[in-house]
Chains A and B, each alone.
Chain A
Amino acid sequence: MTSKPLKFADEQLKRSPFYERQVELNPRDAWSAWNGYKHANFYYDEQYEYFCIRNLCGTYDITAMQKYIVTGDDAESMLDRLVTRDMTKLRENRVTYVVWCTDAGRVIDDGTVFKLGPQKYMLTCGSPCIAWLRKACFGYNDVHVEDASDNIAALAFQGPTSCETLKEMGLSGIETLKPFGIMTFPFKDTELMVSRTGFTGDLGYELWVDAAHGLDLWDDLYAAGENYGIQPFGEGALNMARLEAGFIMPYMEFNEALKTVHFEHDQTPFELDLGWLVDFKKPRFNGRAALLAEKKRGPKYTLCKLDIEGNKPAEESEIYSDKGCTKKIGYVTSAMWSPVVKASIALAMIETKHMDGELFAEIYYSKELRSYSKVAKCTIKKKPFWAPARAKATPPGPY
């Protein structure tokens, strides 16, 4: 039987190199989209996949993440000028987390920079940034930016049994890889790059290979992980894990400055509690003057991690300085019930001057079509909600 060709087939979302395997594992057609790629919300069950990150291991397709290869004599200078962190300190085969800002010091995006060689870097980020990177190249003689987003297949591979699985796969010495380190391994007729990075706050790696070898990578990894509970996870589970780790998400915690209509609706690194990423020892970088002023003045808001009494997720709650909810001093950006921490947790923008005072969240929830609200006390947590020792230990130790 021949099936009729799909209408408007050219308008289908792009498929990642792993799609053939992913589709077999997504019986519930739980797809959304990311940067034009068909991207899973979940595969079998969001909660199950979340526990794979915390209990076993799972893969998250980051092919749709934007990947830019920056090369040339001026690559380091260009990147150093672009981001707020000192790029001259980044050693080869190391990765660093960065943000880059507009002249006004507002965050355009966050991402990671990989130093792949003396004059070769890879910048990754969640949204397309090529137009801004081209602008950033103006005035440098020898810097070239290649958009390799579609050419590199990438999997985040996260969870307590991830290291064991990679060992099982034959990546010898992987247990010696330190957080934010890079190792490469021969793979088929090409090379597999492994970085000890991730967005879950747990032990984990990211695997990078050319798109043509995507399926090979998937198959080898899943064969090795069979007895370690390997399972793909979607955006739902990732979003839970990243919130427990205290990581920020675009359009949850921050708006990309270049795409923000209202000038008060984007954020500075200080507001996002990322002041530690801003290195004023550097003589110049985009947004420096504005950020210096912001640092002196102190940010109006600061992103805080909240532990909230009760079990109702404080989604879209307002934060008040009094139990009577008369003085609004902030708003929740992301919230959830954490199944591993067993607490109602949230990230929230709190007016910096009120951070030391009492905090209350007004939480709305509904039960059987009836709407209820309650006021819950909030406590600011300094550390991530979830930070197992294995995430930082080298070797990671037993799972």
Chain B
Amino acid sequence: MKKYDAIIIGAGHNGITNAAYLAKAGLDVLVVEKNDYIGGGAVSRELHNGFTYSNCSYVCSMMRQAIIRDLDLPKHGMMVIPYPGALAMGENGEVFHSYSNDEVAYNHTRGVSPHDADGLMRLFADLSRYAQVIRKTLMRTPPDPTSFKPRDIKELLFLAKEFWKLGEREIYEYVRFFTMSAADFLDEYLENDLIKAYMAVSGIIGTALGVYSPGSAYILLHHVMGDVDGNLGAWGLARGGMGSISKALEGAAKEYGAEIRTGAPVEKIIVKKGKAVGVALENGEELMSNIVVSNLDAKRTFTKIMDRNDLPEGIYEKANNFKFRGSSGKVNIALSGLPKFKGAAENPFINRSSTYLIGSMKSMEKAYDCWKRGRWSDDPIVETVLPSPWDPTVAPPGQHWMSCFVQYCPAELADGPWTPEKRDAFGATVINKIERYAPGFKELILHTEIRTPHEIEQEVGLTEGNIFQGELTIDQLLFNRPFPGYAQYRMPVKNMYMCGSSTHPGGGVSSACGANAAREILMDLGKVNTVPEDDCYDD
């Protein structure tokens, strides 16, 4: 029977990245994927004739340039097109335009609030400063602060050095920043409710936090620390949908000789004598390998596909207590024409990218309160994106698809489990909200796919539908991700690794977790490192 050097469980973007780097180093690699398509949360699917939905993640910013370049992903079909702006809409018909052009942005913001036009510049400078430290850690394995290994000490010193580069005053600010709420943080810069709300959205997307919850300021940073072509905080659309990123990674991995099997759900990781030796598929087939890498989230890995008896004391509990709390929904809609938002500028560059139907800081907090009580709000936060005017490959000419990301949507409802009817009711709430902001919207709808955390968990495999494979709170970041003592991608069972967003640096389509894990694996195998360590983007 064939024995692989490595089996990777889950063909999401991190799994494929991991496979690509292991294969590049000469390993015989197999990726097994439960679905009959690859991509995990970075996927493009034609669910309606001629319409290709990015039905989970929908925009790109965090993908590491160093990896794109190193694996030559453009050659394999990846292209990211940056937004030139975005729209935010308030509950009383206020509209705020965010432009990528500095001067235009200044003039527009000044028209809304001269104070905030000035404040925004200071806000972005501060965010950039904080982001600079974090960005440096993305492509590095977190040090173990309890270890005395030279490598860990070196990495700790590196972190300390980068930290000190902030300057004494900023260090205090920085530490404070990690524990602040997005609202408190933004209050120091902004006075206009809509602008504040627009900025605060980044602090709650994908999380179980509200804009007033401590820790949401860091989430905000997590969303602006990406870049497109070096423009920090910029977001872009992947041509062909987010699946094109996974496909490009697949192209690279295959070129290096990796194998990918779809329709191959894993039942168990086989552990013999304390060592991972392979996987058993649900169809009973057993595949052997020297190492096993799980791209599933920490909870799913340790509570679903591992035998509790194979685990050392305490790990199962830790995994079980790992904070997930799904909070987001997604509605993908095929449209026969372009929707028109009330009050939006007659500017196709602005009103066809991200349109945030926010409401207000208050309605955002209300939506959060509903979620805590196991309901969805009548007035959820909806971020709509229209990729099709920019991407000719995702909808028929003249027709459009719209991605709607909805915050908040509970993984567990107060009134019992999700049903198709409840799901559709949730979808109707979202569509009704859009209709309020874009009258006539409903008449354009050709097809709708509604995804609550329930669907996301079922289809993609993300526990509770948490898009980050676990909350991005300080207790679950850096050397604490997923668990203290296990942050260096090696898991408590020998020859077993994790490479998904449950590991450092966390969620987002960055490929960094998969790449970092590959680096550690290669180190353990005594192979030459094939993984770039530095982005060189912030020098």
Q: Look across to chain B and name the residue whose beta carbon is closest to the beta carbon of A57.
A: B392
Residues of the A chain whose Cβ atoms lie less than 8 Å from the Cβ of B230: 311, 337
Nearest neighbor of B227 in chain A, beta-carbon distance: A311
CA distance A46 to B229 in the complex (A): 14
Q: Which residues of B contact A160 (CB under 8 A)?
A: 392
**B interface residues, tally (CB under 8 Å):** 28
Q: Mark A34-59, 1 if CB is under 8 A from B, else 0.
A: 00000000001101100100111000
- Chain A nearest CB: distance from B391 CB in Å? 7
**Residue of A with least CB distance to B389:** A229
Minimum distance in angstroms from A361 CB to a CB of chain B = 14
| Residues in chain B near residue A56, CB distance under 8 A | 390, 392
Say whether B74 faces chain A, with CB atoms less than 8 Å apart: yes
The main secondary structure of chain B at its interface with chain A is loop
Judged by a CB distance under 8 angstroms, whether A341 is at the interface is yes
Task: Tell me if B239 counts as interface (CB < 8 A to partner A).
Answer: yes
Report A307-344 residues with CB < 8 Å from chain B CB.
309-312, 337, 339-343
Q: Does A68 contact B (CB under 8 A)?
A: no
Closest CB-CB distance, A377 to chain B, in whole Å?
12
Q: Which residue of B lies closest to A399 (CB)?
A: B392
Bound complex: CA A89 to CA B228 (Å): 46
A399 close to B101 (CB less than 8 A): no
Output the least CB separation between B336 and chain A (Å).
Answer: 12
Q: Which residues of the partner chain A approach B390 to less than 8 Å between Cβ atoms?
A: 51, 55-56, 229
Q: Is A176 an interface residue (CB 8 A)?
A: no
Number of interface residues of A (CB under 8 A): 31
B82 touching A47 by the CB < 8 A rule?
A: yes
Residue B65 CB within 8 A of the other chain:
yes
Instruction: List residues of chain A with CB within 8 A of the CB of B93.
Output: none
Contacts of A341 in B (CB 8 A): 74
Q: Judging by beta carbons under 8 Å apart, are A310 and B101 in contact?
A: no
| Segment 194-245 of A: residues with Cβ below 8 Å from B | 226-229
Q: Is B536 an interface residue (CB 8 A)?
A: yes
Q: Which residues between 130 and 187 of chain A lie within 8 Å of chain B, taking CB atoms?
A: 160-161, 164, 168
Q: Are B393 and A399 interface neighbours, CB within 8 A?
A: yes
B41-77 residues with Cβ-Cβ distance < 8 A to A are 65, 68-69, 73-74
Within the complex, what minimum Cβ distance (angstroms) separates B511 from chain A?
A: 13
Least CB distance, B518 to chain A, in whole angstroms = 20
Residues of chain A lying within 8 A (CB to CB) of residue B104: 28
**In the assembly, what is the distance between CA of A28 and CA of B393, in Å?**
30
Q: State the CA gap A331–B100 with chains docked (Å).
A: 33
Q: Considering only CB atoms, which chain A residue lies closest to B73 in the complex?
A: A342
Residue B539 at the A interface, CB < 8 A?
yes
Smallest CB–CB gap between B103 and chain A, Å?
A: 8
With A47-B82, A56-B390 as contacts: A339 and B397 at CB distance below 8 Å? no
Q: How far is the CB of B531 from chain A (nearest CB, A)?
A: 16
**Cβ-based interface call for B537 (8 A):** yes
Q: Are B397 and A164 in contact (CB under 8 A)?
A: yes
Bound-complex Cα distance A10 to B390 (A): 41
Whether B484 sits at the interface, judged by CB under 8 Å, is no
Check if A343 sits within 8 Å of B69, measured CB to CB. yes
Residues of A within 8 A of B263 (CB): none
Say whether A227 contacts B398, CB under 8 Å: yes
Are A340 and B74 in contact, with the CB atoms below 8 A?
yes
Cα–Cα distance between A348 and B79 once the two chains are bound (Å): 26
With contacts A337-B230, A342-B65, A342-B68 known, is A45 near B392, CB below 8 A? no
Closest approach, in angstroms, between the C-beta of B327 and any C-beta of chain A? 33
Interface pair B349/A48, CB less than 8 Å apart: yes
Complex Cα distance, B74 from A231, in Å, reads 23
Contact A45 B349 (CB under 8 A): yes
Instruction: Decide if B257 is an interface residue (CB 8 Å cutoff).
Output: no
Instruction: Indicate whether A372 reaches chain B with its CB closer than 8 angstroms.
Output: yes
A374 at the B interface (CB under 8 A): yes
Q: Which of B79, B349, B397 contacts A228 (CB 8 A)?
A: B397
| Bound CA–CA A226/B229 (angstroms) | 28
Residue B81 lies at the interface, judged by CB distance under 8 Å to chain A: yes
Q: What is the bound-complex CA distance between A251 and B180, given in angstroms?
A: 53
Residues A45 and B391 in contact in the complex (CB < 8 Å), given A310-B536, A311-B536, A342-B69: no
> Can you offer 15 A-B residue contacts whose CB atoms are under 8 A?
A44-B84, A45-B100, A45-B101, A47-B229, A48-B349, A51-B390, A55-B391, A55-B392, A56-B390, A161-B392, A227-B398, A337-B229, A339-B229, A340-B79, A342-B69
- Chain A residues engaging chain B, CB cutoff 8 angstroms: 28, 44-45, 47-48, 51, 54-56, 160-161, 164, 168, 226-229, 309-312, 337, 339-343, 372, 374, 398-399
A sample of 16 more A-B contacts (CB under 8 A), given A44-B349, A227-B398, A342-B68, is: A28-B101, A28-B104, A45-B84, A45-B349, A47-B82, A47-B229, A48-B84, A51-B82, A161-B392, A164-B397, A229-B392, A311-B537, A337-B230, A339-B80, A340-B74, A374-B539
Q: Which positions in B face A, CB cutoff 8 Å?
A: 65, 68-69, 73-74, 79-82, 84, 100-101, 104, 228-230, 239, 349, 389-393, 397-398, 536-537, 539
